[in-house]
Amino acid sequence: MSGKHALVTGGAGFIGSHLVDRLLGEGWRVTVVDNFDPFYARSVKEGNIRSHREHPNYHLIECDLRDRDGLVAAFESPFDCIVHLAARAGVRPSIADPVGYQSVNVTGTQNLLELAKDWGCKQFVFASSSSVYGINPDVPWREEGAVLQPISPYASTKVSGELMGHVYSHLYRIRFVALRFFTVIGPRQRPDLALHKFAKMMLAGQKLPKFGDGETSRDYTFVADIVSGVCAAMEYDASLYEVINLGNHQTITLNEMIGALELSLNRTAELESLPEQPGDVPRTWADISKAQRLLNYQPTTPFRAGVEHFVRWFLANR
């Protein structure tokens, strides 16, 4: 693997910075594109990449993926693989700004696929999302059996990315692997995500918003397990187009998540009951048999251990 060159979009973010850690450690040259979107504080991302900036195999380009001319001008050498993690994230914010999400997530992905075609890059790994399944009662969710009915603009942009990837794979023989991430937890988690937000509120003595009865559930997956799946997808070569779930194959309710935080923080949460939110799905649950078969993917970090890892990082970086 040593000596290969990867382009990682969103490489200053939560998952991206962990992936860059792994790639640099394995001898890759890594070029990161990130526009430091103000969705959350720039200082958070700067903290994520502090150690990367000193690495001789690391190069950071600050650019918006919608600026195709800027991207072309910024790059000097070809890539063995593109890992496209950058996106406007979040279900609820996408309902407030559907046009903005479409512009960044769909146009940005198209620009990268065009560049992959022009550069002759034949390996493209795309960060999709479990949200593409919408409200699907047939759980655990399987890639082959699902009729996708997304219920948020964010989810629809991820479906669009998967379909666009199929077009470029078919026309230009670019290997496109779409990875449907289920809820990712761990150190550096984005501050807008529930685990991080709730931890901050609990330490501040604020009430936690509990939407519905607390029995909505998520398939929480530890970031190191996700990164292992991404790295395997970067090396995958058995077919030209695949869509693969990366989850933990278990569900944790909102009530259980709050309970785990209470134990790790040694605090009792005060709760504010609120109605369920539009765009939220009641349950996510990954069938990971395809990832196991094609990528030798096997998550090893249980939910409680993942929460402990997150809390240790959170307390040290408040």
Instruction: Record the tokens describing residue 80, joined without a space.
Output: 């063995």
State yes or no: is 172 an active-site residue: no
CA distances from 303 to 47, 103, 113, 195, 266 (A): 25, 34, 35, 12, 17
**Helical residues (DSSP H) of the chain, grouped into ranges:** 14-25, 42-48, 68-74, 91-96, 98-102, 108-119, 153-172, 194-203, 223-235, 254-265, 289-295, 303-316
Dist. CA 246–CA 244, nearest whole Å: 7
Residues 6+ apart with CB under 8 A from 291: 229, 244, 245, 246, 297
CA pseudo-torsion sign 79, 227, 132, 31 = negative
Residue of 58, 101, 133, 154 with catalytic role? 154
Q: Name the amino acid, one letter, at 104.
A: V
Using DSSP's 3-state secondary structure scheme, residue 217 falls into: strand
- Backbone torsions φ then ψ of 158, nearest 5 degrees: -75, -35
Dist. CA 126–CA 161, nearest whole Å: 8
Using DSSP's 3-state secondary structure scheme, residue 3 falls into: coil
Assign residue 212 a region: left if phi > 0, alpha if psi is -120 to 50, beta otherwise?
left
Dist. CA 168–CA 165, nearest whole Å: 5
- Backbone torsions φ then ψ of 306, nearest 5 degrees: -60, -40
> Half-sphere exposure (CA, 13 Å, Cβ side) for 44?
20
Q: Between β-strands 217-218 and 252-253, what pairing exists: parallel, antiparallel or unpaired?
A: antiparallel
| Catalytic (active-site) positions | 154
